[in-house]
Structure 1
Amino acid sequence: MTELSVLEGFRTAATPLISDNLHRLPGAVGLRPFHRSGRMVGRALTVRTAPGDNLFIHKALELIKPGDVIVVDGGGSPDRALIGEIMINIAKYQSAAGFVIDGAIRDTAAIESLDFPCFARTAIHKGPYKNGPGEINVPVSVGGMVVNPGDVVVGDEDGVVAFPFEGAEALLKLVRDQEMREEETLKSIREGRYVGAYGVKPAA
């Protein structure tokens, strides 16, 4: 499979099933979607910032390639918003795939009206500093999940998970296999054939 076809395959893969097949280990905790709708799939463009400072996020916006997910380690600080409506639109019109912010955002009404994926910890009206320091394309931690530059990042209503591109094709097959097993389980429930894990058939 090509890189594009692998990434497109994950566009219909639910994050819980991806997590299940990564031994339920990777996954950002405490981040939630702020956008109206839309799944996020892309390769990580990572940024590490000082808490409440977005200078290096602005620098990263100059480096975006189509399909990049801008993954920002803001230390989880809720005190100042790292991005807002303008930066979201810059990323959107440069064909980025989304934002993942371990920190705060603002302009939530505008962001919630968009289909451009934005996951963050919280929202606040207070704006950021622009002093640095920061780093781009280094390993970062968002919600306790380590993300390396170029990792595949997937986000949906249940949260965000990231994993190395190496092995992604095999992971996608495992996810598809689990989808088929779960669909069969749901079908057996609908048809009254389901027997629980301990051999007990639910009462009618």
Structure 2
Amino acid sequence: MPDFTPTTDLSDAWPQAQVAAPVFRDFGGRVRFQGEAVTLRVSDNNPLVRQTLQTPGEGRVLVVDGGGSLNCALLGGNLGIFGVENGWAGVIVHGCVRDTAELRGLDLGIRALAAHPRRSGKREEGERDVPLTFAGVTVRPGDRVVADEDGWLVLGADLVPEPKL
């Protein structure tokens, strides 16, 4: 990825950057990704995730707060394909994903708590473009999210764009 600054360097340069707790696993084919955050809050239902990934991603990162639920998957192979086709850089799910072999083959960054074989519900409910707080970070729409082999962090709007180190 061009002009990618590792999370370790960003954390050193900006101690005020928020670093997510190391509870997320890497499920996507792209380990390093970054972009402006688009936020969703859902509860065991993924129609808003689908609808969002079907829109132009423009290199952004979709951050989904599923409340840390381990009841079902909020993202699977079909939605991952939408993410790739529509230009999303990555998806971070505070919850579960499924179709992990398929996700691993996609050029999309994907972080989640765990894998789960059960699909989510299909009720169209949730919130979009709201601040999300989980795993020790608060992600606001427009914040820069950066992920790599060492974890992921959030740079608030006052810290964007990233520094040239």
- Give the TM-score normalised by structure 2: 0.89
Higher relative contact order (CA 8 A, sep 6+): 2
1:32 match: 25
Quote the sequence identity (%): 32
Q: Distance in 1 between matches of 2:54 and 2:106?
A: 22
Contact 1:38/1:115, CA 8 A, preserved across alignment:
no
Alignment of 1:23-102 (within 5 A): 23=15, 26-29=18-21, 30-50=23-43, 52-102=44-94
**AA paired with 2:128?**
I
Higher strand share goes to which structure? 2
Q: Distance in 2 between matches of 1:151 and 1:130?
A: 28
Deviation at 1:113, TM superposition (A): 2.2
Q: Distance in 2 between matches of 1:8 and 1:113?
A: 21
Q: Distance in 2 between matches of 1:143 and 1:126?
A: 23
**AA paired with 2:141?**
P
Alignment of 1:165-204 (within 5 A): 165-169=157-161, 172-173=163-164, 176=165
Q: Distance in 1 between matches of 2:154 and 2:131?
A: 12
Higher helix share goes to which structure? 1
Q: Secondary structure at the match of 1:166?
A: helix
Contact 1:81/1:128, CA 8 A, preserved across alignment:
yes
Contact 2:54/2:83, CA 8 A, preserved across alignment:
no
Aligned residue pairs, count: 164
Deviation at 1:98, TM superposition (A): 0.8
Contact 1:35/1:113, CA 8 A, preserved across alignment:
yes
2:122 match: 130
CA gap of 1:32–1:21, structure 2 versus 1, over 3 A, is farther
**AA paired with 2:158?**
E
- Give the TM-score normalised by structure 1: 0.73
**AA paired with 2:26?**
P
Deviation at 1:132, TM superposition (A): 4.2
Q: Distance in 1 between matches of 2:17 and 2:146?
A: 15
- Report the aligned-residue RMSD: 2.0
Contact 1:45/1:150, CA 8 A, preserved across alignment:
yes
- Deviation >3 Å, runs of 4+: 62-65
